[in-house]
Structure 1
Amino acid sequence: MCMVCIAFASWVLKTANPQVGDAWKAVLLANVSALSAIQYLRRYVRVEAATGDTEQPEP
């Protein structure tokens, strides 16, 4: 999910034409996708850290 959002944001920025007046829409879409991916990663890391603390690996 996260990698898809980052890849989509990268693709949008590469294919956007900066001379067109609507380029801000592509940039906005890319930023929203990137922020969504970052938020998802932070939530995933938090959940993994919470579940990892309760389980102790046995030697």
Structure 2
Amino acid sequence: MCLLCIAFASWVLKTADPQSGDAWKAVLLANVSALSAIRYLRRYVKGEIAASEKKPNLKTLCYS
């Protein structure tokens, strides 16, 4: 999902005509897509960290 957003933002910026008056819309859309991808990645990483902390450590269970 996030790679798709980043690819879309890159494509929008490459195909936008910088001389047109609507170039700011393309830049805004690309920035929103990139920020959305970054927020998604941050939530995913935090979820992975929380899930790994909840798992019992097998070494401590075996050697206790």
Q: Shorter-chain-normalised TM-score: which range?
A: over 0.9
Q: Identify the residue that residue 14 of structure 1 maps to in structure 2.
A: 14
**Kindly, what percent of the aligned residue pairs are identical?**
71
Give the Cα separation in 2 of the matches to 1:30 and 1:14.
10
Q: Identify the residue that residue 26 of structure 2 maps to in structure 1.
A: 26
Structure 1 residue ranges without an equivalent (≥5)? none
Report the aligned-residue RMSD.
1.1
Give the Cα separation in 2 of the matches to 1:57 and 1:49.
14
Question: How many residue pairs are counted as aligned between the two chains?
Answer: 59
**Aligned-residue offset at 1:54:** 1.4
**Aligned-residue offset at 1:57:** 5.1
Q: Name the SS of the counterpart of 1:33 in structure 2.
A: helix
What do residues 11-57 of structure 1 show as CA deviations (whole Å, max 9, x unaligned)?
00000000001000000000000000000000000000000111145
* Deviating 4+ runs (over 6 angstroms): none
Give the Cα separation in 1 of the matches to 2:8 and 2:57.
38
Q: Give 2:49's aligned amino acid.
A: A
Q: Name the SS of the counterpart of 2:21 in structure 1.
A: coil
TM-score (norm 2): 0.86
Q: Give 1:55's aligned amino acid.
A: K
Query: Does residue 49 of the first structure (1) align with residue 60 of the second (2)?
Result: no
